[in-house]
């Protein structure tokens, strides 16, 4: 199964982990990634701790825990490629729609794109459930 199919078909919870240049680590709940045409992954990010860490350290890890019994899912090892502040692109990719006032109150958004370096299953180091 390809990542695009996986994230379209499978429900669950995503967690992004990043570290600052100093080594300080944070984790945050993140929605499923957008899979781009070049197989990179993109996330819409607000100017919070995860985003700040990526300014100092381009490495991240995204863990996706499948909904249901047991421990199924994947771990994606990521490297930040670039980001865009294009409001039209971000609006087109935004899944959760707030009123313009609610959206503005939460602060600026950025579309951050990542290269997938490695994919592992949620538990262990066997073959991942995706290609």
Is 131 a residue whose pLDDT tops 80?
A: no
Do 27 and 15 touch, CB atoms closer than 8 A? yes
Query: Could you give the CA distance from residue 76 to residue 110 in angstroms, rounded to a whole number?
Result: 20
Say what the pLDDT of residue 55 is: 96
Q: Domains plus CATH for the chain?
A: 3-121 (2.30.110.10)
Average pLDDT over residues 75-86: 97
Q: How far apart are CA 89 and CA 85, in angstroms?
A: 8
Task: Kindly report the pTM of this predicted structure.
Answer: 0.91
**What is the rounded CA–CA span in Å between residue 110 and residue 90?**
7
- Residue 112's pLDDT is what? 98
Q: Per-residue pLDDT averaged across 7-25, rounded?
A: 96
Is residue 47 very low, low, confident or very high in pLDDT (cuts 50, 70, 90)?
Answer: very high
């Amino acid at each position: 199964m390809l990542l695009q199919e996986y994230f379209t078909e499978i429900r669950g919870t995503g967690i992004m982990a990043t570290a600052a240049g100093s080594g300080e680590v944070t984790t945050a709940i993140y929605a499923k990634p957008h899979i781009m045409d070049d197989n990179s992954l993109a996330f819409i990010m607000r100017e919070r701790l995860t985003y700040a860490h990526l300014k100092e350290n381009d490495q991240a890890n995204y863990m996706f825990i499948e909904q249901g019994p047991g421990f199924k899912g994947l771990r994606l090892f990521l490297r930040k490629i670039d980001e865009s502040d294009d409001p039209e692109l971000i609006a087109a990719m935004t899944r959760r729609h707030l009123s313009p006032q609610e959206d503005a109150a939460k602060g600026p958004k950025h579309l951050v794109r990542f290269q997938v370096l490695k994919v592992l299953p949620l538990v262990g180091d066997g073959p991942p459930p995706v290609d």
